[in-house]
Chain A
Amino acid sequence: EPEVTQTPSHQVTQMGQEVILRCVPISNHLYFYWYRQILGQKVEFLVSFYNNEISEKSEIFDDQFSVERPDGSNFTLKIRSTKLEDSAMYFCASSRADRAGTEAFFGQGTRLTVV
């Protein structure tokens, strides 16, 4: 069964450093998303991406964040200068279509710890 894969599963980084979280969406999917979940809190939308551009982003997704689809398979989230409050589980998701009934498939998440 196709699945979304994320690497690494756990990343520890020093405050102020740049991190890149990687995702391989399901191959025939066209819409890609990043979500984050701060420990013990709900899952929050960060950004959606379609046709090589951001289609929507939340207020959390400020200038320190960027997304890219550098080749035909990877979808990355870059955090330029990490802060302690960026520590969270980051989920990548993909979906075939952008209609209300289309489920999003989530990866297993990358746990980012900023120290």
Chain B
Amino acid sequence: AQKITQTQPGMFVQEKEAVTLDCTYDTSDQSYGLFWYKQPSSGEMIFLIYQGSYDEQNATEGRYSLNFQKARKSANLVISASQLGDSAMYFCAMREGRRGYQKVTFGIGTKLQVIP
């Protein structure tokens, strides 16, 4: 089974509108962390937002918020007031908490295009 599933290969959004990028995850661990990264066409990986499995409140960072639904194992990224510079690949990732299991697993990504 895929650890991280991103079902939207591509998304379009009108500038200034909000958009939700879907992410579901699979883990049997109680302690884990969920991340979203942005990868513009230049290729670098930019950290956007983090949600811990024990955090009761949804994480927010500026225009980014993470809609965390633990029972459904989903961690959707919401971008409000989209800007042209938001056009990029977006990766959902998970870090599981077992000691010694240190890797972050990435989803396949969603390509977001913001339309003027």
A residues whose Cβ falls under 8 Å from a Cβ of B: 31, 33, 35, 41-45, 48, 50, 55-56, 58, 89, 91, 93, 98-109, 111
Contact = CB atoms under 8 A, between A and B. Distances in A.
Contacts of B104: 33, 35, 45, 93, 104
Interface string B32-56: 1101010000111111001011000
A105 to B, nearest CB: 7
Contact of A102 (B33, B99, B109): B33
Given A41-B108, A42-B91, A101-B33, A56 B44 contact: no
A53 B32 CA distance: 24
27 contacts: A31-B102, A42-B109, A43-B91, A43-B93, A45-B104, A48-B102, A55-B100, A55-B102, A56-B101, A56-B102, A89-B43, A91-B45, A98-B102, A100-B29, A100-B31, A100-B95, A100-B97, A101-B52, A103-B35, A104-B35, A104-B47, A105-B47, A106-B45, A106-B47, A108-B44, A109-B43, A109-B44
Nearest to A58: B103
Interface of B: 29, 31-33, 35, 37, 42-47, 50, 52-53, 91, 93, 95-97, 99-109
Given A91-B45, A109-B44, A102 B103 contact: no
Contact of A109 (B29, B45, B53, B93): B45
A100 B32 contact: yes
